[in-house]
Amino acid sequence: MDFLRDPFGFVIQEYTGWLGGLGLPAGWVDIIAKLTGALVLATGAMLFVVFLIWYERKLIGRIQDRFGPNRVGPWGIFQPVADMLKIFTKEYITPIGADKFAYNLAPILAVAAVLLLWSVLPLSVTVVGTDLNVGLLFLVAVGGLGEMSYILAGWGSNNKYALLGAFRLVAQLISYEVPLVLSALVPVMLAGTLSVNGIVQAQESVWFIVAAPAAALIFFIASIAEIGRSPFDLIEAESELVAGYNIEYSGLKFGMFFVAEFLHAFTVSMIFATVFLGGWQGPGAAEIPVLGFVYLMLKTFVVYFVTILFRGTLPRFRIDQMMNLNWKVLTPLSLALIMAMAIVGGLTRELPVFWQVIAFLLVNLLLLGATDQLMRLSQSRKTKSNLPMQPLRKVLTTSTKHGAGE
């Protein structure tokens, strides 16, 4: 019965018990148990990517009115496996003049940075890699580690496109880290802890997306930018930069960047589900831990599905639009949001939780509405004045002037 209620926790307990019975010194049992846990979690995450690639290709195919992979295995589910086998036997081509150390380190670091995120994410009540007391800060910091791998790849490749792509990518990632970190402050304020499991437990009565929808929206947009997905995929724009930072990579080194990207996309969805959608919280999750895992996966897949919808439907941003959205919309909004939430939270402290949540919700909606109005205002002002921002409009008006049919 214990096994059915919490299979993961049961296996972990049995395993550590068995290790303890072997008669090893006390310190070693701990280290071996931790090593096994890390190995299982990391391997599981890497193998999970195979499924993610299939899921995403199938969905994108459906959005574009195609079948997607449907030949290898039932519904094409083994297509990524076949691709992996193929890429495994491909030659490594190292360009002349490449910085060998940086060039070879980059794909390893890219995957390692994403895998490391999994070490603090709580999968259910009992299954947490480790419950760090600075968990959320750790997530942000390790997310920043991935940027290093991209600049290493771009710099080490000795290629102009790669360098340009890497610089764009780093500019985008560090820019969007600002609203990401600032909007992550809001759940920390509401929960009063940085521990990821603590944040999940604080959402028992109400999810943070209800109390702070604006923060959730900023966090979500910034997360999509962090994984470099469309509409923020100008960093590996195939049509301008031929691929960006990974242009000189081949074989499995290239594959590793792909694994990192897909796994990062899923992990970021999981972080969103954990921080704003209540993680493993749900009816009966505290008593039956395996239910918590199911809830978390469901929520994560909903978020992941939305990011894929974004990818399938939105066109790519230009670099100045990308920068403007971040620095002139998201960053001021998140700053205003933190200040407003702090003051409102301080004033309504005596009220019951229900009214406090209502107050937070109103502040969030008010700020979102104000941002929307301001954006409309600046847009209409821009179209009136003759800023050098609209080269396309100029081209269009001059071409109609000289048009033959007029």
Partner 1 sequence: MLGNWLYIGIFALVALMMPALTIFIAGILSPKRPDPIKNSTYECGVETVGPNWTQIKIQYYVFALVFLIFDVEAVLLFPWAVAYQLLPLYAIIEGVLFLLILVVGFLYAWRKGALEWF
Element (H, E) at 179: helix 160-191
Q: What Å distances lie between residue 199 and 154, 195, 202, 274, 352, CA to CA?
A: 37, 6, 5, 8, 20
Smallest distance, partner 1 to C-beta of residue 188, A? 4
Start-end of H helices in 100-159: 100-117, 135-156
Q: What share of the chain is helix, strand, coil (3-state, %, to 5)?
A: 75, 0, 25
Among 24, 309, 339, 396, binds partner 1 (CB under 8 A): 339
Smaller CB separation from partner 1, 242 or 396: 242
Of 297, 246, 160, 212, the C-alpha closest to 220 is 212
Contacts of 375 (CB under 8 A, 6+ apart): 329
Q: What Å distances lie between residue 138 and 120, 130, 307, CA to CA?
A: 8, 12, 23
Smallest distance, partner 1 to C-beta of residue 216, A? 16
Contacts of 224 (CB under 8 A, 6+ apart): 231, 232, 268, 307, 310
Q: Is 385 in the site for partner 1 (CB under 8 A)?
A: no
Smaller CB separation from partner 1, 120 or 209: 120
Task: Enumerate residues 83-112 that contact partner 1 by CB under 8 A.
Answer: 87-97, 104, 107-112
Among 74, 192, 315, 391, binds partner 1 (CB under 8 A): 192
Q: What is the DSSP string of 317-342?
A: PPHHHHHHIIIIIIHHHHHHHHHHHH
Task: Enumerate residues 318-337 that contact partner 1 by CB under 8 A.
Answer: 319-320, 323-324, 327-328, 331-332, 335
Part in contact with partner 1 (CB under 8 A); list of ranges 28-36, 51-59, 281-289, 391-399? 28-36
Number of residues that bind partner 1 (CB under 8 A): 86
Among 12, 15, 30, 374, binds partner 1 (CB under 8 A): 30
What is the spatial distance between Cα 214 and Cα 220, in angstroms, rounded to a whole number? 10
Q: Is 225 in the site for partner 1 (CB under 8 A)?
A: no
Q: Is 34 in the site for partner 1 (CB under 8 A)?
A: yes
What is the spatial distance between Cα 357 and Cα 291, in angstroms, rounded to a whole number? 27
Smallest distance, partner 1 to C-beta of residue 139, A? 12
Q: Is 12 in the site for partner 1 (CB under 8 A)?
A: no
Task: Enumerate residues 244-303 that contact partner 1 by CB under 8 A.
Answer: 247-248, 251-253, 256, 259
Q: Is 182 in the site for partner 1 (CB under 8 A)?
A: yes
Of 369, 373, 367, 374, the C-alpha closest to 186 is 367
Among 12, 19, 46, 297, binds partner 1 (CB under 8 A): 46
The two structure tokens encoding residue 248: 């000189």
Smallest distance, partner 1 to C-beta of residue 88, A? 5
Q: Is 177 in the site for partner 1 (CB under 8 A)?
A: yes
Task: Enumerate residues 344-363 that contact partner 1 by CB under 8 A.
Answer: 345-347
Q: What is the DSSP letter of 314?
A: P
Task: Enumerate residues 103-162 that contact partner 1 by CB under 8 A.
Answer: 104, 107-113, 115-116, 119-120, 129-133, 137-138, 155, 158-161
Smaller CB separation from partner 1, 176 or 295: 176
Part in contact with partner 1 (CB under 8 A); list of ranges 210-218, 229-237, 242-250, 396-404? 242-250
Q: What is the DSSP string of 1-20?
A: -HHHH-HHHHHHHHHHHHHH
Q: Is 188 in the site for partner 1 (CB under 8 A)?
A: yes
Smallest distance, partner 1 to C-beta of residue 292, A? 21
Q: Is 9 in the site for partner 1 (CB under 8 A)?
A: no
Contacts of 180 (CB under 8 A, 6+ apart): 140, 218, 219, 222, 223, 226
